[in-house]
Structure 1
Amino acid sequence: MLTIEWDDVTIKDFQTTLLNWFDQEGRDLPWRHDHDPYHVWVSEIMLQQTQVQTVIPYYQRFMDWFPTVTALANAPEERLLKAWQGLGYYSRVRNMQRCARQLLADYDGQWPQTAAELTQLTGIGPYTAGAIASIAFNQPVPAVDGNAYRVFSRLLKIDADIAKPQTRKLFEQVIARIIPRERPGDFNQAIMDLGSSYMTARQPDSAHSPVRRFNQAYLDGDELQYPVKTKKPRPKPVAYVAVLARMGEQWLMTQRPSNGMLANLWTVPLIKLDDLDLENPRDFDELRAAITARFKHDSRLDVQVNQLDLRAVTHTFTHQKWTIQLVAATVTPADLAYFAGQSVAPSALAQLPIPKVQAKIFDRAGIEL
């Protein structure tokens, strides 16, 4: 429910105030140096779930490796995953390549210019479509992300639950009335900057905000109550054992299946503890015997498993929290025809695309890439 309404005079005043501030204080970011839709798109996909300062070097390397839609469409998957390594949510970059190929095949390499058309492309949702359409093509459409939810819920005291999908429509309708027809892209980017500076989630500095006189929640003293969002369920705990297995001087690495979590990325052998059917998971002798039997059955390899005095690695995904016990293994040299992976020289480990959880495993074990 909206507790206040802005008239046309207030809307114009807000637009002018916000854009004047953005002109003076807007962040100087590499993807803002032009309005190329490819640059806008790559940056917006990278910025999902990731902080700006983290994204900047990734963006710069990505543009160096894949400077055009064509280069991205034709990139080998391993290089693509390597470029994304550390950002997580690898489905994003896979969808980017599918989108690039779709642009070449169906649009002659030309970007659609409206938000509605952009959402027909693989991996582009309402927010990204709004960002591209407004920034690259000057279309007066909102780009509703977490910053926009936070800013406008506080400005207008909107108490709709932003965890519900239908709430997006409400915010889009509200912002569509406020966004200017001139400079809509700058307006959307100013909202992003405002939400990451003066109107942050936990420690806003609204007393010094350029739009404080428009911020009804601040004026009423209850801005931390906005936005309203129901809590997500806690991630499900899943226990794994990571086998740091060496055959001679080389490490055994496995490639994840092409579907599911961490698809096509490389890790050391990871085994769910539940799959080992242990009577007492704390009994290392029982764990050793189960791992030895698993390698013999699945890969026809003889291994000697040894305990490591290392803390478990933990890693949280959206719906799961992994706790990973590390063990060492020495593998008797043999044919790897039945092993779901390959042996890798220590000097070549850094060339493999690995997920963040694997980087944590290497770091905990003291293995340098």
Structure 2
Amino acid sequence: MKMLQLHDKATQIAQTWRANILHWYKKHGRISLPWRNLSGENAPYGVYVSEIMLQQTQVKRVLESYYIPFMKAFPTLTSLANAQEESLLKLWEGLGYYTRVRNMQKSARICCEKFNNALPQTYAELISLPGIGKYTAGAILCFGFRQSMSFVDGNIRRVLCRIFALENPKERLLDELAALLLDSTRSFDYNQALLDVGAMICTPKNPACLLCPVRNICKGQANPALYPTPKKSILEPLTLHLAIYVDKKGKIAFIYEDKKEGKNALYQGLYNLPNIELENITNDEKYYKKCGSFKHHYTKYAITANVYKLDSKNLAILKQSMPHTNLYFFSSQELDSKPLSSLCKKALQLAGFNVSRSNRI
């Protein structure tokens, strides 16, 4: 279908589309989500936090374990700007993609310096901030400042592709279709409804087409898996040999993944178990005990983690394997306040250490 025809089609179905979407949302939408019920001058900030957390993360996880504790700890943009990074990362622990929260703090500091301790209210200024893209800027303006805005995220893209049977449309076309279909008089509810249809009905696999409020005008419902064309994501294999060394005081050795380590640091700003060179310890098995292995996915990596326990006499082996890395020693109690990666917690639990793995991990 040519672009002009698509525009005409969108105009034709717009009235029915909006009415059906909003009617469904009133009955079935996630209206009670806390970030959908914000008011006052701090509402844009609350929306901003939710939108960043929801990137690459399911609503259920954010709602149950992250959003409310984070907002209680850092209730304003100013408090976020002034926070200690270790405190931020501890509250973000288990969410992954830690660059998100670092960019939030960078943006908060810019807002405090340039925009009078508040988020700016224009698209151009918002999108200039670290970590805020087209969708996030639009969502903040619509949900936080109640401006009439259309935008496209992964869920909305999938809905539009299926409605118009588009296999691999250009971003510009989807932006135009979203703008044509927008209910400008009720943009807050309309956009929330569209997000919910994508997340709850028009899912990537096994969409519930019979329950869809716009199924009667959907061109792609016969073969929804074709729209859009699925992207193949290939994870890079990575094998790690994680060493658990406990000193005579019962404290565990950790490394700190510093920003200076750049791309070689898997978890910047977090404490992790040392990743050792296996040949340094395999010559004599009396120096270590293999606790087991597990699989772990993180960003672009498919990780195989082998976990080894070194006894208290083998600090030299550990230092030999990591000659230019500082070691930090913490008791189990001290770990409660230190940001750890999910990978690290899994390894410690595998080795029998009593380290909490809450539902955030």
Task: Tell me the TM-score normalized by structure 2.
Answer: 0.87
CA-CA distance at 1:43 after TM superposition: 0.6
CA distance in 2, matches of 1:185, 1:117: 21
> By how many angstroms is 1:137 displaced?
2.3
Q: Does 1:186 align with 2:189?
A: yes
1:287: how far off? 7.5
1:33 paired to 2:37? yes
Instruction: Tell me how far 1:363 sits from its aligned partner.
Output: 2.1
Name the residue aligned to 2:51: 44
- Give the SS at the match of 1:321: strand
Q: CA RMSD of the aligned region, Å?
A: 2.3
Structure 1 contact 239–272 (Cα < 8 Å) conserved: no
Shift of residue 246, structure 1, vs aligned partner: 0.6
Confirm or deny that 1:251 pairs with 2:256: no
Letter in 2 for 1:30: P
Matched letter for residue 117 of structure 1: E
Tell me how far apart the structure 2 counterparts of residues 114 and 13 of structure 1 sit (CA, whole Å).
31
Partner SS for 1:79: helix
Deviation sequence 1:85-134 (CA, Å, 0-9, x none): 00001000000010111110111112222323210111101110111111
**Matching residue of 2:346:** 360
- Contact 1:140 1:176 (8 Å CA) reproduced: no
User: What is the TM-score when the length of structure 1 is the normalising length?
Assistant: 0.85
Q: 1:99 maps to which residue?
A: 107
Counterpart-to-counterpart distance in 1, 2:10 and 2:289 = 69
Shift of 1:189: 1.2
Q: Which residue among 287, 299, 305 is the counterpart of 1:305?
A: 287
Structural mapping, 1:58-207, within 5 Å: 58-160=66-168, 167-207=170-210
SS of 1:315's equivalent in the other structure is strand
1:252–1:6 distance in 2 versus 1, CA, 3 Å: same
Deviation at 1:250, TM superposition (A): 1.0
1:18 aligns to what? 21
Evaluate the alpha carbon distance shift between residue 272 and residue 209 of structure 1 in structure 2; reply closer, same or farther with a 3 A threshold: farther
CA contact (8 A) 1:157 1:226 kept: yes
- For 1:230, give the aligned amino acid: K
Q: Quick one: which amino acid aligns to residue 87 of structure 2?
A: R
Q: CA deviation at 1:13?
A: 1.8
The 1:338–1:10 alpha-carbon spacing in structure 2 relative to 1, beyond 3 Å, is closer
- Percent identical pairs in the alignment equals 33
How far 1:333 moved relative to its partner? 9.6
How many angstroms apart in 2 are the aligned matches of 1:330 and 1:257?
26
Is the 8 Å Cα contact of residues 287 and 314 (structure 2) preserved in structure 1? no
Residue number in structure 1 paired with 2:226 = 225
Residues 272-310 of structure 1, C-alpha deviations (whole Å, 9 max, x = no match): 55xx5x8xxxxx73386xxxxxxxxxxxxxxx73122x3
Q: Which has the higher mean CA deviation after the structures are superposed, 142-151 or 58-67? A: 142-151
SS of the equivalent of 2:246 reads strand
- Do the aligned residues in 1 keep the contact of 2:182 with 2:190 (CA within 8 Å)? yes
- One-letter amino acid of the structure 1 residue matched with residue 180 of structure 2: R
* 1:286 match: 283
Contact 1:69/1:100 (8 A) holds in 2:
yes
Counterparts of 1:227 and 1:339, CA distance in 2: 46
Q: 1:331 aligns with which of 285, 295, 312?
A: 312
Using the TM superposition, give the Cα deviation of residue 367 of structure 1 relative to its aligned residue in structure 2, in angstroms. Answer: 1.3
**Aligned-residue offset at 1:354:** 0.7
**Which segment drifts farther, 90-99 or 198-207?**
198-207
Give CA-to-partner distance per residue, 1:37-56, whole Å, 9 cap, x none.
11111111111111111001
Mapped partners of 2:353, 2:207: distance in 1: 41
- CA offsets per residue over residues 299-329 of structure 1, 9 Å max, x none? xxxxx73122x33122222322221211111
Q: Which structure 1 segments of 5+ residues have no match?
A: 162-166, 279-283, 289-303
| Cα displacement (A) at 1:6 | 2.1
- Structure 1 residues 287 and 140, CA, compared in 2 at 3 Å: closer, same or farther? farther
Q: CA deviation at 1:332?
A: 4.1
Whole-Å separation in 1 of the counterparts to 2:315 and 2:228: 59
Q: How many Å apart are 1:144 and its aligned residue?
A: 1.3
Are the equivalent residues in 2 in contact too, given 1:235–1:319 (CA < 8 A)?
Answer: yes
Residues 229 and 114 of structure 1: is their aligned pair in 2 closer, same or farther, counting only changes over 3 Å?
farther
Tell me the residue number matched to 1:263. 268
Q: Tell me if 1:237 matches 2:237.
A: yes
Contact conserved, 2:11 with 2:180, CA < 8 A, in 1?
no
Contact 1:305/1:327 (8 A) holds in 2: no
Q: Quick check: 2:21–2:190 contact (8 Å CA) kept in 1?
A: yes
Aligned partners of 1:238 and 1:272 also within 8 Å = no
Report the alpha carbon displacement of residue 235 of structure 1 after superposing the two structures with TM: 1.8
